[in-house]
Amino acid sequence: MQTPANPFKQALREGRTQIGLWLGLADAYAAEICAGAGFDWVLIDGEHSPNDLRSTLQIAQAVAAYPRTHAIARVPMGHGQVGQMLIKQYLDIGIQTLLVPMVDTPEQAQALVRSLRYPPQGVRGMGGARASRWGRYTDYPQRANEEVCLLVQLETRQALGNLEAIAAIDGVDGLFIGPADLAASLGHVGQSSHPEVQQAIDDAIRRIRACGKAPGILTLDEPLARHQIALGAQFVAVGIDHNVLSRGAAQLAATYQNANS
């Protein structure tokens, strides 16, 4: 058996827009429902949801039943020795594409590239039992570096200032803009829709594309998402599972609120 190609990474290379859904419920059963909906990718969130390594594995296994949908995971952190250890573990359970938060400098991005790769290109420890399907992917040690995909998250004023330098790092496949933290960094806490924030996001999308890399973002507002796609955003999350559930439940309840009146 041969190591499968990373379809998400290939789509980015070919310039195809990929529409995704954020998974924050930390539940494989719910994730399978979402994976069957037909999104190009789903993001298993390990930063702002109660996912750990084991639940990430279980969700990835559920999503794998739907080959159209690619499972991406966001690690809680990627910097330093702890981040390097987490990245190794996520890769070893078979995650091919990682989103790493709070990347502010090209030095951090370069260190992350090395964390995702086996020697001599990197420092990832040799392992990957499930990633290689317990040795059944006989070429995994030789192919792993080629198929991993690194998405770095820009969410501060400093990161925007270093955007071109970060994008220039070989091995960074996509640059994801984090609207909420970026708004806070720009002095507009809780105001992602503030004109200054939206102007900064639009500018960042254009700059990332000009560097030849793929821009990404999470946007819950449909007109705004379509605007950002038109600007060149290439991997766009258009919803969060718990938002879909809470809004749908509220709408259903509201439909029957006056049933007994």
Residue 70 appears among annotated catalytic residues: no
In sequence order, the β-bridge partners of residue 154 are: 177
Q: How far apart are the C-alpha atoms of 225 and 125, rounded to whole Å?
A: 39
Helix 106-115 to helix 80-92 angle (10° resolution) is 40
Q: Which residues contact 61 (CB under 8 A, 6 or more apart)?
A: 28
> Residue 8 CA to chain centroid, in angstroms?
11
Cα dihedral angle (178, 145, 70, 136), rounded to 10 degrees? Answer: -150
Q: How many CA atoms lie within 13 A of 114 on its CB side?
A: 12
Half-sphere exposure in the Cβ direction for 148 (13 Å, CA): 33
Rounded to 5°, angle at Cα 120 from 116 and 123 = 40
Are the CB atoms for 126 and 118 separated by under 8 Å? yes
Sort 115 into a burial class: Cβ within 10 Å, 0-12 / 13-18 / 19+: buried
Catalytic residue from among 48, 70, 188, 194: 48
The catalytic site residues sit at 48
